[in-house]
Structure formats: C-alpha cells, structure tokens
Amino acid sequence: MTALLKTNLGSVPLIGRGKVRDLYAVDDALLMVATDRISAFDFVLGTGIPGKGKILTQISLFWFELLKDLAPNHLITAKVSEYPAALKPYADQLEGRSMLVKRAQMFPVECIVRGYLAGSGWKEYKTSGTICGAPLPAGLLEGSQLPEPVYTPSSKGLDGEHDENISFAATEKLIGAEDAAALRQLTLSIYRKAHAHAASRGIILADTKFEFGKTADGIILADEVLTPDSSRFWEGTSWKPGGAQPSFDKQYVRDYLEEIRWNKQAPAPGLPDDVVARTQAKYLEAFRRLTGRDLSL
C-alpha cells in the first residue's frame, strides 16, 4: 500500500495544504482531505504512513456522531457518492479520507484540555508547580491524573510559527467574553464525554485539542476531532504515573526522532519501514478499540 502524500483534484480550487490535510473550495462548502502525511515537532516528515488519512477521518466521523448532542459539527457528508459531480472523477483519492463540510468563521484559538500531566504541561509543572499558569497540588508525577481537567487555550501560530499558550483573559480579549466562555464549556464537556467513552474501551484520553468555528446558526465543532494526531491516547491497563506512558498516538514517531538526535531543522528526515509499520498499527488499534469496528485500508 502506497502512502498518499499529496492530492490533486484538477480544476477544483485548492485553498491550502496543512501539515496533514488538503483543503478545497466546493461551491459554498469545503472539502477536507486527510493525506497520509505525518508531522512531528512542527515539521512534515519525509515519509508518510499508508492509510493514516483514512484512519483519522473515520475516527473523526465516529466522534462527530457520538458527540453531536453536545456540539453540532461542520460535517455535511463523507460519502463520495453524495459529493458534487465535479469531485466524482477523483473518488480514488477521496474515498474514506475526505469530508464535505460547512464553511465557518474559525476562532483563532486552539482549545486544549489536559486531564493528565504530560508533554509541555509536565515540563512546566516540574519547574513551577503550575500548568499554563494554573497552580496544581504538589507531589504529582509524570502521567498523573489532574484533580480536574484543565482548559489551556493557545493562540494559533501563523505561517509556521509555534502556537502559544494564552490565558483565559487573553482569550476573552481575542474573541469576546461570551464566545470564550462557550468554547471553554464546550471543550470541557466534550472532553469528559470522550474520556468516559475511551475509558470504557480501556484507553485513557490524556489530553486533546479542538477547533471551533461560527456560522449563522452558532458555534460548531470543526476540523478533525479526537484522533491520534490531536490527542494523547494511553493504554489503560498499563497506566502508571511516574514516567512516559505506552500510547496510541504519534509519540512513537517523536521518540524515534529523539533517538536519532534529529536537530529539528529542515529538511525533516524520513522514517524506516519498521517505524512506519508500528505507527500504522498503533493508529489502527486506536480505531478498533475506540469504535469497536475493523477498518479495511
């Protein structure tokens, strides 16, 4: 199976290519196509993970359905048979890995929620006893569950810049107090429901991030949701605070890049076949465990 690293939909207007997704304009809607690109440390790597875009899309569709009572979302359809005629010739590139979605005015905020100490949160806690400035109890370990999930928004980095953690007050100034409060409430509510579902499948949802937009009908959940690209998923049975946790996300790729001591400068390296295979297997296992279904790539 070959990784799809770049889509080409002929005369369909391309709006842009993100680290993973290609975005097209289709009449008054948008077409999001998840490629098999994989990024780490803000760089797209030289090797893709075959089928990764399909796995991400199918996981997002599962969560959109599960969470629709909590938060309306941007999905119009993910069935290529229901797409406009102009897209039909490209079905081989779109099947299973694309979504036709509503346009929305996107909020310039990454809505991050952390339920456990990991990553940059753990590094900050070791230094100051806080997470994004919020004080935490003493004595927590790497991987510890927090007393309550913590909402830690960040600004969206532009033109390749890093996202930066911002205070809730800064979020209020950026998008207004009412919308800031709504995003915080939605983020925490979605996290709690998703955490409970993942736990029922033996998986810990340690942290995740959401993106929201606004339409004439109000705030909607957009982009991807609760995938191994945007979330830390840990193995529930082996969870033990005090170090790094076995995960279903791309931490395996990050660990490999640290092992080879890549300087995190362009050009980004490729991945050996065994790392590609292990990563694909982890993403597939996350899908099977979370959804209770098998996925044919």
Residues of the chain with CATH 3.30.470.20: 106-264
CB 67 within 8 A of CB 225: yes
Give pLDDT, residue 132: 85
- At the topology level, CATH places domain 106-264 in D-amino Acid Aminotransferase; Chain A, domain 1 (3.30.470)
What is the rounded CA–CA span in Å between residue 172 and residue 204?
30
Tens of pLDDT, residues 156-187:
765 545 678 899 999 999 999 999 999 999 99
Q: Can you give the pTM of this predicted structure?
A: 0.94
Give pLDDT, residue 232: 94
Give pLDDT, residue 297: 84
- At the topology level, CATH places domain 14-103 in Phosphorylase Kinase; domain 1 (3.30.200)
Residue 18, classified by CB atoms within 10 Å of its CB into exposed (0-12), middle (13-18) or buried (19+), is middle
- Count CB-CB contacts under 10 A for residue 280: 21
The list of the chain residues with pLDDT below 70 reads: 157-162
Token pair 């001591």 in the structure block, residue = 261
Residues of the chain with CATH 3.30.200.20: 14-103
Token pair 């230094």 in the structure block, residue = 127
Q: Going by C-beta distance under 8 Å and a sequence separation of 6 or more, which residues neighbour residue 216?
A: none
CB 31 within 8 A of CB 24: yes
For residue 144, what is the DSSP state? P
Q: How far is CA 142 from the centre of its chain?
A: 22
Token pair 């299973």 in the structure block, residue = 96
What is the rounded CA–CA span in Å between residue 215 and residue 221?
11
Tens of pLDDT, residues 79-97:
999 999 999 999 999 999 9
30 sits in which H/E element: strand 29-34
What is the rounded CA–CA span in Å between residue 155 and residue 138?
28
Biggest CA–CA distance in the chain, Å, is 59
Work out the angle at residue 230's Cα, subtended by the Cα atoms of residues 228 and 234, and round it to the nearest 5 degrees.
45
Main-chain phi, psi angles of 30, to 5 degrees: -125, 150
